């Protein structure tokens, strides 16, 4: 087996995949092995999704344990599962053993349960126990993204002593950004950044240079909160402790970047009414399967709009021209609601609304709602009068626009907050279901006002 | 002046702000100074947006240069500008001089031009030149987010030699994650991670342990590409070189996290049709100002929908019941278009579509479009026949739904790609303007089919 040793070169996945495909088809002995030995394992991982299942398997077989680990970590779960399934258990145990524990646990979690047990049995006891512990935590929690691979030392060890310890043991580089100081019960009492360690005198004990009682989280802390803390305080890594304050592991900054990318994708996917899988898969069927449920739910919601219009068929027959402004009212109520819900969803994600009451969140939006509703109401009234050729229609359209935008804006900030408080992902509030319900509400306002005003004007 | 020395404690900004407000109002000498000395500067920064201008100024005056720098870095530009304006130039020069160069340059860029010059004149020549150079780069480029504070050493220096050099000089901790190796022309030839440095033997020269020709970018490289590279290859920092390969600085991982948060906010803001400022400001007027232009643009676009319906007023008068499905068609065409545009926008942001042709992107969506259009078309046809009480209306609604969803899905993937190629932010394609144009198009399809089928059915 040859290990890819190439350095990162900003190659595109398509480019790497094309070269691999050509080498595989050439049937020249060693051509594929020679080629991939020149690539960085991450470049190979990124090319995997562009390759056929057969080419993937051929490439994966040529990688050593370390490179295989990187590839398994980087590819989508769909591809990872295929590769894991095709690899024999002895080799798999070797690959997983070579991975940082948090990454290894992610890989093991993709295996069927009986295979998980057999693999763990082939791994040295200490590490197998570690993996089993990591597997217990929920994927979206601090415990699920932390690594147990941390450097911990007692407070009386010297800076020089820790550096020598690091040299002797085989720790992953990501674990080296911060050394944790623990007491004899392994309770976390301090932290020393690698910078402080290098700047310290050789004989200084850790307790003289450590930051006391560093910020820590519990394994069940949500990953969004972990990201907020690491981002806010620019931490190189965030320790995870159990209920007794004992150090379990740490979340490192590279994991935080992954979570940020994943959460950004998920939030956008919710707004769009699909799932992150839609983005990652190349299968049209999987794409469609991710989208159809949301579309059917919002189709059902849109029948409410149809029902509202049917209910006002008398009004509509009296003035068919009013139909022309149906899409104007629904679009604007939807757009203003989406503005307000998106801002609220993002504020929640950034932790800006912690400790703020529901009332205060909505109240802040009242002046905003009044300003934009007035501007749009006036413009719509003018346009309505002109397009429909009657000032009384302008009055109806303008008043309905004003009310619909006020309602859209205020509900847009209220709904995500309520969702977040009852444990539903607030991003769903910007999604198609809520938006389509908003349509029906705005039509109720529009035709309610139209029916009322037409009666007044014609009496 | 007292420097806040408290450790990070996951306090909420509201909590810190309330304590500061109480201390400021108590008028007890030293109460405020005593309080803030217990907080981490970042906690003070986060509390700033909850405080009145007066309290902000009182707090800021009590901070030393280092803490002031952190606060200026973390608060929104709006507040930063106010604080900078109120601080005298001598003190400001001291604060900016104490900041890492990239952060200092950001602060200076917020000052009016004449003040920029006076401040730079008060800062030691070397650093002033550095700041002036950083100020030249566009804010969204590698040059705009890099720090010039990097450790660079020739290839024959030993590991021990570099560590001693680091101890002697006062580098910011973020710059220590990676040491860069340069030749006598300061051209970048290698990189050594801090982990490799610690693991090396004291007398090993850097050239023996360095990674050769590390991945680097130019100052004008877009920050999104920088983020993609750091994320893809898990780099602790990414070097920036000029056209001759000479090392200018590096983008560190903490800056990458900031960019990720900022880009996620911006992308969501575009989808919602507002700006990131809307999120950060507490002023209702600024919120409204961010939202109104988008609403007016989409209001104008929605008049197109009204015009389409007016153009088909003959068809509508012939069958007023068709009005009931106007919001159903627009909602579903909009929802399916948004799914497809959001997935495409995110794929572009993650660099997944590099080197893929426009045709290939759209072609991939064809089977997805056909599946979801068929499912929704059949359901809509059934519902149309039932709700409107006539199978021929079901046929109209179902056919229109099928066509509108196909068009929405395909345009949803095409438009962001086209935007991206002509240099417009693709996220705008998921925004209200494009969505509202989509409404008009789907109505044209709906009424076009209705007019055609009604003629055929009634002849």
Q: Please, are residues B37 and B2 in contact by the beta-carbon 8 Å criterion?
A: yes
pLDDT greater than 50 at residue B390 = yes
Averaged pLDDT score across all residues of chain A:
88
B268 and A440: CB-CB below 8 Å?
no
Q: How far apart are CA B315 and CA A331, in angstroms?
A: 23
DSSP A453: H
Question: In this predicted structure, what is the pLDDT of residue A101?
Answer: 83
pLDDT greater than 70 at residue B6 = no
B15 touches chain A (CB under 8 A): yes
For chain B, how many residues are written? 459
Q: How far is B425 from chain A (nearest CA, A)?
A: 16
A235 touches chain B (CB under 8 A): yes
A282 vs B423, residue with greater confidence: B423
pLDDT greater than 50 at residue A3 = no
- Among B296, B420, B418, which Cα is nearest to A339's? B296
ipTM (interface pTM): 0.78
B257 and A230: CB-CB below 8 Å?
yes
N-to-C CA span, chain B: 90
pLDDT greater than 50 at residue B2 = no
Q: How far is B38 from chain A (nearest CA, A)?
A: 14
With residues binned 3-state (H G I as helix, E B as strand, rest as coil), the percentages for chain B, rounded to 5, are 70, 10, 25
Question: In this predicted structure, what is the pLDDT of residue B226?
Answer: 92
B202 touches chain A (CB under 8 A): no
> pLDDT of B192-218, one tens digit each?
988 888 888 889 999 999 999 999 999
Q: How far is A79 from chain B (nearest CA, A)?
A: 16
> pLDDT of A341-396, one tens digit each?
988 888 888 777 777 788 888 888 899 999 999 999 999 999 999 988 889 999 99
A221 touches chain B (CB under 8 A): no
Q: Please, are residues A287 and A190 in contact by the beta-carbon 8 Å criterion?
A: no
CB atoms within 10 A of CB A19: 17
**Interface test with chain B among A221, A324, A398, by most B beta carbons within 10 Å:** A324
* A66, containing H or E segment: helix A65-74
- Among B107, B106, B130, B142, which Cα is nearest to B256's? B142
* Average pLDDT of the residues in B142-148: 90
Question: In this predicted structure, what is the pLDDT of residue B5?
Answer: 53
Nearest CA in chain B to A333: B295
Residue B400: pLDDT band (50, 70, 90) is very high
Question: In this predicted structure, what is the pLDDT of residue B402?
Answer: 97
B274 and A40: CB-CB below 8 Å?
no
Question: Quick one: what percent of chain B has pLDDT higher than 90?
Answer: 38
pLDDT greater than 60 at residue B342 = yes
Q: Which of A284, A305, A368 sits opposite B368 (nearest CB)?
A: A284
Residues of A in contact with B274 (CB under 8 A): 339, 342-343
Q: Which of B211, B214, B372 sits opposite A291 (nearest CB)?
A: B372
> pLDDT of A67-118, one tens digit each?
888 888 888 888 888 888 888 888 889 888 888 888 888 888 888 888 888 9
pLDDT greater than 50 at residue A240 = yes
Q: How far apart are CA B344 and CA B125, in angstroms?
A: 48
pLDDT greater than 70 at residue A10 = no
C-alpha distance from residue B424 to each of A276, B218, B415 (Å): 24, 21, 11
Can you tell me which residue has the tokens 């095709």? A86
Residue B447: pLDDT band (50, 70, 90) is very high
B18 touches chain A (CB under 8 A): no
Residues 361-420 of A with CB under 8 A from B: 364, 367-368, 371-372, 375-376, 379-380, 383, 387, 405
Helix spans in A312-431 (H): 313-318, 326-349, 358-388, 391-421
CB atoms within 10 A of CB B169: 9
- Burial (CB < 10 A; 0-12, 13-18, 19+), residue A439, is buried
Question: In this predicted structure, what is the pLDDT of residue B306?
Answer: 93
B215 and A7: CB-CB below 8 Å?
yes
**Interface test with chain B among A197, A310, A331, by most B beta carbons within 10 Å:** A331
CB atoms within 10 A of CB A323: 22
* Average pLDDT of the residues in B307-335: 92
Helix spans in A136-252 (H): 142-145, 159-168, 194-199, 206-209, 223-233
A232 and B375: CB-CB below 8 Å?
no
> pLDDT of B228-268, one tens digit each?
899 888 888 999 999 999 999 999 988 888 888 888 888 88
Nearest CA in chain A to B380: A299
pLDDT greater than 90 at residue B156 = yes
Residue A326: pLDDT band (50, 70, 90) is very high
Averaged pLDDT score across all residues of chain B:
88
> A357-366, B163-172, B317-326, B335-344 — which is least confidently predicted?
B163-172
Question: In this predicted structure, what is the pLDDT of residue B7?
Answer: 65
> A194-203, A236-245, B158-167, B272-281 — which is least confidently predicted?
B272-281
Residue B8: pLDDT band (50, 70, 90) is low
Q: How far apart are CA B369 and CA B379, in angstroms?
A: 15
pLDDT greater than 80 at residue B29 = no
Torsion of CA A280, A286, A291, A293, to 10 degrees: -140
* Average pLDDT of the residues in A177-190: 94
Residues 267-326 of B with CB under 8 A from A: 267-269, 271-274, 278-279, 282, 284-285, 287-288, 291-292, 294-296, 298-299, 301-303, 305-307, 309-310, 313, 316-317, 320-321, 323-326
Question: Quick one: what percent of chain A has pLDDT higher than 70?
Answer: 97
pTM of the model: 0.79
């Amino acid at each position: 087996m040859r290990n890819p040793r190439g350095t990162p070169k900003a190659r595109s996945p398509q480019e790497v995949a094309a070269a691999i495909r050509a080498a595989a088809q050439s049937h020249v002995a060693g051509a594929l092995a020679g080629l991939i030995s020149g690539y960085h394992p991450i470049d190979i991982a990124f090319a995997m999704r562009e390759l056929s299942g057969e080419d993937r398997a051929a490439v994966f077989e040529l990688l050593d344990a370390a490179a295989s680990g990187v590839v398994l970590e980087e590819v989508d779960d769909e591809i990872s599962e295929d590769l894991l399934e095709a690899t024999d258990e002895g080799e798999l145990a070797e690959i997983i053993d070579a991975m940082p524990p948090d990454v290894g646990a992610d890989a093991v979690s993709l295996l069927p349960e009986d295979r998980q047990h057999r693999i763990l049995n082939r791994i040295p006891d200490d590490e197998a126990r570690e993996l089993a512990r990591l597997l217990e935590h929920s994927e979206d929690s601090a415990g699920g993204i932390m690594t147990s691979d941390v450097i911990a030392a007692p407070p009386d060890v010297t800076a020089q002593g820790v550096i020598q310890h690091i040299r002797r043991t085989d720790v992953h580089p990501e674990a080296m950004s911060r050394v944790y100081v623990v007491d004899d019960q392994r309770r976390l009492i301090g932290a020393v950044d690698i910078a402080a360690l290098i700047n310290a005198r050789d004989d200084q004990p850790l307790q003289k240079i450590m930051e006391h009682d560093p910020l820590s989280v519990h394994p069940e802390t949500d990953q969004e909160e972990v990201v907020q803390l690491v981002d806010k305080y620019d931490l190189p890594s965030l320790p995870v402790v159990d209920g007794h304050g004992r150090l379990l592991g740490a979340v490192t900054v590279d994991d935080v970047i992954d979570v940020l990318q994943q959460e950004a994708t998920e939030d956008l996917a919710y707004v769009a009414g699909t799932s992150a899988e839609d983005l990652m898969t190349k299968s049209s069927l999987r794409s469609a399967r991710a989208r159809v449920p949301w579309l059917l739910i919002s189709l059902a919601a849109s029948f409410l709009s149809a029902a509202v219009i049917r209910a006002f068929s008398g009004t509509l027959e009296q003035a068919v021209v009013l139909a022309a402004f149906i899409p104007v009212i629904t679009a604007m109520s939807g757009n203003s609601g989406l503005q307000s819900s998106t801002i609220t969803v993002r504020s929640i994600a950034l932790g800006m609304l912690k400790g703020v009451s529901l009332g205060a969140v909505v109240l802040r939006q009242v002046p905003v709602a009044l300003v934009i509703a007035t501007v749009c109401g006036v413009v719509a009234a003018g346009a309505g009068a002109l397009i429909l050729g009657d000032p009384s229609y302008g009055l109806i359209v303008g008043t309905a626009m004003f009310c619909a935008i006020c309602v859209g804006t205020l509900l847009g900030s209220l709904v995500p907050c309520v969702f977040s408080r009852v444990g539903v992902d607030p991003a769903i509030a910007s999604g198609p279901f809520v938006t389509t319900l908003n349509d029906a509400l705005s039509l109720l306002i529009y035709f309610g006002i139209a029916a009322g005003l037409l009666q007044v004007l014609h009496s």
